[in-house]
Amino acid sequence: MTFPNTSKLIVNNLDQIIQAFNRLQNEINTFINAINNESQLQSIPLYNINIVAGNNQIAHTLEKPLLGWTLIDVQTASPKLIRYAPSTNTTLYLHSDVACTISLLVY
């Protein structure tokens, strides 16, 4: 996409100026929305969480509704993790089949 050089714009051609401005505004909005929608940019790593076999409540500091989580490290047994309740602004609820130590990325 190209925009007219502002030094060559003629005031008589106001429609082209408005169209160029609207295209620029749409491109900026598309870019900003893509950044805002990238939830993992607003993620927090949680390291060395000791998990017990059974239900676990894991505190996080996102201070917003949790969209998801990713297991980034396992230091002991390989767990099967299942969310057993809806997450809140401060807590992730995971059920594990084994006791282990993990690290998570929450977003």
Are residues 32 and 47 both part of a single domain?
no
Are residues 47 and 30 both part of a single domain?
no
Examine residue 101 and state whether it is found in any structural domain, yes or no: yes
- Please provide residue 42's backbone torsions phi and psi, each rounded to the nearest 5 degrees: -110, 40
The pLDDT of residue 91 is 94
Are residues 65 and 91 both part of a single domain?
yes
Residue 73 structural domain:
42-106
Are residues 33 and 74 both part of a single domain?
no
Indicate left, alpha or beta for 46 from its phi (over 0: left) and psi (-120 to 50: alpha). Answer: beta
Average pLDDT of each block of 10 consecutive residues along the chain (107 residues)? 60 81 90 72 90 96 88 92 92 96 94
Are residues 27 and 66 both part of a single domain?
no
Q: Are the CB atoms for 16 and 5 separated by under 8 Å?
A: no
Q: What is the pTM of this model?
A: 0.62
Lookup result for tokens 């130590």? 101
DSSP per residue over 18-76, as a string?
HHHHHHHHHHHHHHHHHHHH-GGGG-EEEEEEEE-SEEEEEE----S----EEEEEESS
- How many structural domains comprise the chain? 2
